[in-house]
Chain A
């Protein structure tokens, strides 16, 4: 078992490699080819982003008529933004608000529910604990997309489809979050700490809130980040659950624009608006990703080294 803290710290503090005495010439050549391969791969990974950034400054004619990877004469970025936010009565802003609402409520909810369950699985003794945790481990491999259509059919029986709850409620379930927090609490919250609080007369709820929860913070941020981004990026579930245009998140909304633009059945094609819409939709993610790098890696490593 590797703890989250150990995994997170592993990357910043590498000891520099010292290829001093053995064959100093060869590693030099190896290094250059390593850099060359990495440079080619970096271009591959970043090319679409560069294209998006450039394309966002073009109007529709520029998108089709100018060199794809370089700026055209005029900068239309702000015109595009204006159209983006006013097109179809500003529905893009609604989609953005929906995406934010769904991901914040689902993320916070899923993290809270996973924290309670993960802590209980790691530190509390109650009958049925092991059986329930075994069930969780067994079900962690059930593919999410196979559940979407049955969940839709089931929820339509109780009239819950085409509402915000149809997207939020299924997103609150995060078996992976529970698993990750259980591992983290098990490894990094000492029993003695909890026992000491109990002896001081604290109730179980208080032990959890004042002792365990603060100690779980790094793992909680990781789970929050992953569940929020998962909901922000989710497509299949809202696509199936929602038919009201006003309830769409960004992913589903942008797809409807893209469909009507490519099929050409909704007046003038607005590819430039779609491009700017895509750029605005990924900006919060890129910012969150750059600011919270440590937590991203934490979640990935704990998933791999169980």
Chain B
């Protein structure tokens, strides 16, 4: 009696389980696996005037790897990431350590202020900074004497927008990690004569290395996909922000301005693959350091 009951429960659970995950699984197939497969397929073909679509193996990829416009875009986001990521994570870490060290109404207000930019659409954050950068509508040029939209400055100015928008988000993640650590350790370090600054740098920072690794990965993933900010600021300096400024902008223009769907798919797939493989390699390499549990 009891065994039959259990068996039917089991069968019912299997059926319900499948029904419950079915909508999600369908979406996963339709909007993740199929687009990936479709991009891969497109990227292996070329459209020619004479023969129409022909299978071309890896010709599109070969073209992309030798394409100076694509390569300069890749270099740009790499250099951008190399500079912007440490600056922003450093700022976020400093903010998190400050908020963790000082408990008061002001630090609670500060936490809010730092996080609000994250709640704003990237489009609008970029619009606001575009106005602030412009010598006609913003105060920054008058105060500093720097033209933030000039050819030499525009990449740094874009970096500032990203930093402004995401530093607070990363601060909250790091702060939450700090809050999860046992406070007794700080107390004993203090009794040993460590100063607040020493505790922050030598005790607290290593303890949240897992969270630091995580926010670094998310930042790198974000910078490689750089798209909205440069696209929005493009009309302010089209000479500097070209149609191949970042790989994503290049893929977008190849698809929509030049109807090069196959080539665009190859760039998208390449970019996705690099981000995907890169983030797993990074996770793997830092696994030991981040395994705090």
Q: Are A and B part of the same complex? A: yes
Given contacts A68-B138, A68-B139, A150-B35, contact A143 B24 (CB under 8 A): no
Q: How far is the CB of B50 from chain A (nearest CB, A)?
A: 23
Is A233 a contact partner of B103 (Cβ separation < 8 A)? no
* Interface 9-mer from B51-59, B63-71, B80-88, B189-197: B189-197
Residues from chain A with a CB closer than 8 A to the CB of B124 are 251, 254, 278, 281-282
Number of interface residues of A (CB under 8 A): 108
Given contacts A17-B103, A204-B16, A235-B122, contact A64 B136 (CB under 8 A): yes
Closest B residue to A260 by beta carbon equals B235
Is A129 a contact partner of B17 (Cβ separation < 8 A)? yes
Give the CA-CA distance A27 to B194 in the complex, in Å: 12
Q: How far is the CB of B204 from chain A (nearest CB, A)?
A: 14
Residues from chain B with a CB closer than 8 A to the CB of A34 are 98, 101-102
Q: How far is the CB of A64 from chain B (nearest CB, A)?
A: 5
Within residues 284 to 306 of chain A, which ones have a CB less than 8 A from any CB in chain B?
285-286, 288-290, 293, 296-297, 300-301, 303-305
Which residue in B13, B129, B236, B271 is a CB contact (below 8 Å) of A124? Answer: B13
Is A48 a contact partner of B125 (Cβ separation < 8 A)? yes
**A80 located at the interface, meaning its Cβ lies under 8 Å from any Cβ of chain B in the complex:** no
Is A258 a contact partner of B127 (Cβ separation < 8 A)? yes
**B120 located at the interface, meaning its Cβ lies under 8 Å from any Cβ of chain A in the complex:** yes
A-B pair number, CB within 8 angstroms: 292
Is B276 a contact partner of A143 (Cβ separation < 8 A)? yes
Residues from chain B with a CB closer than 8 A to the CB of A22 are 190-191
Is B13 a contact partner of A113 (Cβ separation < 8 A)? no
**A255 located at the interface, meaning its Cβ lies under 8 Å from any Cβ of chain B in the complex:** yes
Instruction: Give the 10 A-B residue pairs with the shortest CB-CB distance, closest first.
Output: A126-B17, A146-B272, A120-B20, A150-B39, A117-B24, A124-B17, A204-B16, A150-B35, A233-B121, A262-B235
Residues on B close to A: CB < 8 A? 9-10, 12-18, 20-21, 23-25, 27-28, 30-36, 38-39, 42, 91, 94-95, 98-99, 101-103, 106-107, 109-110, 112-117, 119-125, 127-132, 136-139, 164, 167-169, 172-173, 176-177, 179-180, 183, 190-191, 195-197, 210-211, 214-215, 221, 224-225, 227-228, 232, 235-236, 248, 251-252, 255-256, 261, 264-265, 268-269, 271-272, 275-276, 279-280
Residues on A close to B: CB < 8 A? 2, 7, 10-11, 14-17, 22, 26-27, 30-31, 34-35, 37-38, 41-42, 44-49, 51-52, 55, 63-64, 67-69, 113-114, 116-117, 119-121, 124-129, 132, 135-136, 139, 141-147, 149-154, 169-170, 172-173, 175, 178, 198, 203-205, 208, 229, 232-233, 235-236, 240, 250-252, 254-255, 258-259, 262-263, 271, 274-275, 278, 281-282, 285-286, 288-290, 293, 296-297, 300-301, 303-305
